[in-house]
Amino acid sequence: MTNAKYARLTTGLVVAWFIFSLSTSALHVFRNDSARLGVSVGLAALIPVVAFSLWMAASAGFRRFAMSLNPRLLTLAHTWRTGGFTFLALSAYGLLPGIFAWPAGLGDVFIGVTAPLVAWRLAQPDHKKRFLLWNALGILDLVTAVTLGTTAGLINPHAAGMTAMTVLPLSMIPTFAVPLLLMLHIISIAQARRWPERQESAAPGQLRPSLA
């Protein structure tokens, strides 16, 4: 299968996934009035990532397509995470627990604000290590948010609940946006690991070894 066909297939799957998450959210499948996200949200976030990982491991064609994607565009997709300040606002109104909202919100804002700069300056072989580090921080932010979202009620039973994250529109974040962005980070890291290590320039006044 060509990259163009994989592009159409992948786009179709992402659209179908979005519609499924939106529809099930509208039917309150993910609603949870406790102080945690709940099993249904956890499964909705985990299953697509597992399916993606298995597809990457099993299909050389899909890996080739994934490796052909523009790392700058993959990075720019994280810009929308500047919307993480919404978590802070909801926490201020008592609609989300602070133990979740502050780490998740500030982490998202940091990744979102820095994404354009990283896409412009670091998404290239000359900055391989820093690009890998930024993507690792992006994954850490997502994992931290999901972990705190599922354990907030255990850490502080008297804090605000996580109901807002289990109903529309915020339910689309853990059931669609988080796993999708995690996949983009994984692809970016896989791409960067194939980049050649940066060659250090010769010291001033020192001639490079002749190739003759």
* Inside any domain, residue 201: no
- Is residue 68 scored above 50 in pLDDT? yes
- Is residue 203 scored above 80 in pLDDT? no
pTM of the model as a whole: 0.90
**Residue 153: other Cβ atoms inside 10 A:** 22
Question: Which residues span the domain enclosing 22?
Answer: 3-193
What is the C-alpha to C-alpha distance for residues 141 and 60, in angstroms, rounded to an integer?
A: 29
* The total number of structural domains that make up the chain: 1
pLDDT of amino acid 79: 98
Q: What is the mean pLDDT of residues 73-84?
A: 97
> Of 114, 143, 134, nearest to 188 (Cα)?
134
pLDDT of amino acid 187: 98
CB burial of 6-35 (b: ≥16 within 10 Å; e: otherwise) equals: beeebeeeeeebeeebbeebeeeebebeeb
* Inside any domain, residue 116: yes
> Of 2, 3, 1, 47, nearest to 21 (Cα)?
47
CA atoms within 13 A on the CB side of 201: 4
* Inside any domain, residue 133: yes
What is the C-alpha to C-alpha distance for residues 175 and 60, in angstroms, rounded to an integer?
A: 27
| DSSP element (H, E) containing 179 | helix 178-193
Residues 121 and 71: beta-carbon distance below 8 Å: no
3-state helix, strand, coil in the chain (%, to 5): 75, 0, 25
Q: How far is CA 192 from CA 62, 143, 195, in A?
A: 17, 21, 5
* Inside any domain, residue 73: yes
Residues 62 and 6: beta-carbon distance below 8 Å: yes
pLDDT of amino acid 153: 84
* Inside any domain, residue 207: no
User: pLDDT tens digit string along 18-48?
Assistant: 999 999 999 999 998 876 778 899 899 999 9
